[in-house]
Chains A and B, each alone.
Chain A
Amino acid sequence: MSTQNSTVNLDVPDAVNFLREARPRMSTRGIFVMFLMTLGSSLMFFSTPARGQALAESQSAPSVVQANVKLVIGGDTIKNNSEGTLSVIGNSLQFATAKTKVEVKASSIQDISTSEDSRQNITGAAHFATMAIPYGGGRVLSLFSHQVDVLTVEFKDDGGGYHGTVFVLPQGQAAPFKKQLVTMGAKASVPLAEPPATNK
């Protein structure tokens, strides 16, 4: 094998010999260039998906989430007084129940406001049942109530139609939604800094 190589070496032109001679000098540069190329390619191929992944995560991961939110009125495909999870995902406000969900783009929101109210602890059929309690027991139970936040969102659909949606959230949970949506481009007639109007 070595003799063959030597014969070949003799037959090759000068230019090739020159290259062969130059190989040891190229190797240090080559290593450096190779290193740079590897580094560049690694940055090209690995950093871009990572950045993209981060973007995708920021868009898909909800920034504000609240479970046990009641949609009082205004959910087109969702029945009134349905309970679900309210979240800000990407650039939109989303309300999801076990079956369906509605989404409102922050840019389409014409006004967003928060206020406080109170709700009875006992509601629905149980509330009617309490009326049967003798000696005004039902009335006593009506005294037990809790404070809630009311989030009202006014927006326009793709056809220009005006919509209004009213959500009831646990106390103190409406402001973060308003803040987040206003940062995303939603309009609000009442500034953020102002405390919500209490109508008791």
Chain B
Amino acid sequence: MKHYARTAPSVLHLFALVCALLLMVGSVTGQTGSGDSKSAQKFSSSSIQIEPTDPGDIPMPPEFRMAIYENLITQITKTGKFQHVYRSGDKDAASASDLVTLHTTARAFTKGSQKKREVTTVSGSTKMTLNVHITDHAGQPIVDREVDGKVRFLGENLRVTYDFSKKVAKIVSVTF
């Protein structure tokens, strides 16, 4: 018993030490992670202008391009990060001094089939990938990344544009 009584605290000490080390490591990595997220500079702007989607060389049907554009306007307005969300060509946008502009360019597009999706579950999904490019008033890039949209099982094909816009709105929320 005495033997156990002597060894028990040492085991406990070791366990406590390991736990403390683990906690320290965790906190350090956590700080590093949060540091990364904080290092992603937050920009501030009162107004944004959304440009229509550039299909590039991708044969994207016009209804998808328009649905992306309209969904982007709706979703970015919903974020509440900007006082003004201007449409492309809006004359009032010229007066905004800190205007940022959102451009989207199609990189890949696969139009699936709602019937196939719902019958087979595994095929017929509609997917698209677009390059999201946000520039400041001087034309300097703020965001430049590829974002995808998917509709895998339920919903009409055009719902892919909603999925994409939600993701872009999330990026905008994080950036501004």
A residues whose Cβ falls under 8 Å from a Cβ of B = 72-74, 111, 113, 115, 117-120, 138-139, 142-143, 145, 150, 152, 154, 156-157, 159-166, 197, 199-200
B54 in the interface (beta carbon within 8 A): no
Interface flag for B163 (CB, 8 Å) = no
Contact present for B115 and A152 (CB under 8 Å): no
Q: Are B63 and A166 in contact (CB under 8 A)?
A: yes
Least Cβ distance of A113 to chain B in Å?
5
**A47 and B136 alpha carbons, distance in the complex (Å):** 63
B interface residues (Cβ-Cβ under 8 A, vs A): 52, 61-63, 65-67, 69-71, 86-92, 111, 113-115, 118-119, 156-158
How far does the alpha carbon of A166 sit from the alpha carbon of B61 in the complex, in Å? 11
Q: Which residue of A lies closest to B117 (CB)?
A: A142
Contact between A162 and B52 (Cβ–Cβ < 8 Å)? yes
- List the 6 closest A-B pairs by CB distance, nearest first: A164-B66, A161-B87, A142-B118, A162-B88, A161-B90, A160-B89
Contact B118 A152 (CB under 8 A): no
If A161-B90, A164-B69 touch, does A199 touch B115 (CB 8 Å cutoff)? no
Give chain B nearest CB distance to A156 CB in angstroms: 6
Q: Which residues of A contact B90 (CB under 8 A)?
A: 159-162
A120 to B67 Cα, complex, angstroms: 20
Q: How far is the CB of B84 from chain A (nearest CB, A)?
A: 12
Contact B119 A161 (CB under 8 A): no
Q: Which of B63, B71, B89, B91 counts the most A-chain CB atoms under 10 A from its CB?
A: B63
Known: A115-B62, A117-B157, A154-B66. A162 touches B89 (CB 8 A): yes
Interchain CA distance A111-B63 in the complex, whole Å: 11
Complex contacts, A138 vs chain B, CB 8 Å:
118
State the Cβ distance, A133 to closest chain B Cβ, in Å: 12
Q: Is the CB of A118 within 8 A of B89?
A: no
Beyond A156-B89, A159-B91, A164-B52, whether A142 also contacts B115 by CB under 8 A is: yes
> How long is the Cα–Cα vector from A118 to B157 in the complex, in angstroms?
10
With contacts A142-B119, A143-B115, A145-B114 taken as known, whether A199 is within 8 angstroms of B61 at the C-beta atoms is yes
B91 touches A152 (CB 8 A): no
CA distance A111 to B61 in the complex (A): 13
Please indicate the chain A residues that have their CB under 8 angstroms from the CB of B157 in the complex.
117
List chain A residues, Cβ under 8 A from B156: 119
Q: Which residues of B contact A165 (CB under 8 A)?
A: 66
Q: List residues of chain A with CB within 8 A of the CB of B69.
A: 162, 164
Interchain CB contact under 8 A, A139 and B63:
no
